Chain A
């Protein structure tokens, strides 16, 4: 007769169904679709590296970096959010809209490269904290130099090499390469 308890309980409680447009709100920790803040992004490509389903693609260009995201491919695993070194990636707390066409929700964010402090050409964005995390202690001079564009960086390196040519000749060359 226990089943009758369940049935009377159900009848007394009334239907538990939520009618269509209504929906229970997702939990506070909900992992929804991914958005990226271009102002923070370093175009490092780590989100691309950890994404299992290739929902994120990071394509560096000459003056800016294309960051694309396709929710249709995303598994909402949150790896990109966890691994982004500058917390540029966040996940929405809602379930988002539904859509009918594959790729309809693909989003592209352009990450502009900041201007090189010396020549004004676009330079890859860099973050000093990330630099420390990646390479450990770096001299103040190098720390300065990360904001330069590639050309200026090369120039600075060449200038430094010229200044210390003797030392570089001892360590940087070998006879095999000739």
Chain B
């Protein structure tokens, strides 16, 4: 039973069958909102899907064998781990096993950026290298508030499971911690104002500059899945509905995710890109400040 449920959540909901279209939808929505905010029409609904299919159909550039292998395996690992993280989101009826385990989920989410860093370096492009080092610096920077905020939630709820946290975290802690978490999402998704890692006017596409065809398609896939994983993480922590009937949970999950996409898109459309050092400083000072205050509140309450 557990295995079946695990497979369902990995492959059906909230896993691949749901997450892929959802990720593409979120990417489309972000681009559409961005376009409308600028007075443009924006891409057609199926554009992210078309992009993916088109990239898949392209003949890959011939590379040295080891490099080609790494450049395929790294994005694959990013896709697999992000899909795993999505499968752990507690939207489906309790599946037992690792479902909803916060520690595992966070480590799986972190594999994606790590692969991007390695992927940038193995591509042996100058710009890929700069993008990778920026990605690495940013990963370190945003993880400080990200982890503190999660820890505050855990401390407040006294539980390491997502469902437990969602149910039991105190509201002041929850609000502060979620603000810190939401602020970390643009870095991972390369959205303004924290998009230094893929600043096209400086370093082309950053760590994925050298990637082409199917290999790039895999990165695009990982990117789409990251949208679902990150918005899903916040969505499943936002409201204490883990006990409610599963349709309610699904509706809340989807609604909060989409609302987050809208907020992030408008924030991205209304800001310029901060520099690497500025972004890092923001996370180490402001982001961590918010997260730390959540932590303090959590402990004071205890």
Contacts and interface: CB of A to CB of B under 8 A. Distances in A.
A22 B3 CA distance: 57
Given A7-B269, A13-B39, A15-B35, 7 more contacts: A4-B270, A7-B266, A10-B39, A11-B36, A14-B39, A16-B40, A17-B40
Nearest to B37: A7
B279 to A, nearest CB: 19
B270 A15 contact: no
Given A7-B269, A7-B270, A15 B37 contact: no
Contacts of A13: 39
A134 interface: no
A62 interface: no
Interface in A1-23: 3-4, 7, 10-11, 13-17, 19
A7 B33 CA distance: 10
Contacts of A17: 39-41
A149 B124 CA distance: 78
A17 B269 CA distance: 18
B67 interface: no
Interface string B13-54: 000000000000000000000011111111000000000000
Contacts of A11: 36-37
B39 A3 contact: no
B269 A15 contact: no
Contacts, number: 28
Nearest to A7: B37
A15 B266 contact: no
A16 B38 CA distance: 9
A16 B42 CA distance: 11
A119 to B, nearest CB: 69
Q: Which 3 A-B pairs have the closest CB atoms?
A: A10-B39, A15-B41, A7-B37
B268 to A, nearest CB: 11
Interface string B255-279: 0000000000010011100000000
Interface centre among B39, B266, B271 (most CB of A within 10 A): B39
Contacts of B35: 15
A47 B266 CA distance: 56
18 contacts: A4-B270, A7-B266, A7-B269, A7-B270, A10-B38, A10-B39, A11-B37, A13-B39, A14-B36, A15-B39, A15-B40, A15-B42, A16-B39, A16-B40, A17-B39, A17-B40, A17-B41, A19-B41
Contacts of B38: 10
Contacts of A10: 36-39
Nearest to B272: A3
Given A10-B36, A15-B35, A15-B36, A3 B270 contact: yes
B192 to A, nearest CB: 12
Nearest to B271: A3
Nearest to A11: B36
Interface in B80-95: none
Nearest to B269: A7
Nearest to A18: B41
Nearest to B266: A7
Contacts of A7: 37, 266, 269-270
A11 B41 CA distance: 10
A19 B35 CA distance: 15
A73 to B, nearest CB: 35
Contacts of B37: 7, 10-11
B217 to A, nearest CB: 28
Nearest to B36: A11
A17 B42 CA distance: 9
Contacts of B270: 3-4, 7
Nearest to B35: A15
A161 B37 CA distance: 84
A15 B35 CA distance: 8
A4 B42 CA distance: 19
A7 B38 CA distance: 7
A15 B41 CA distance: 5
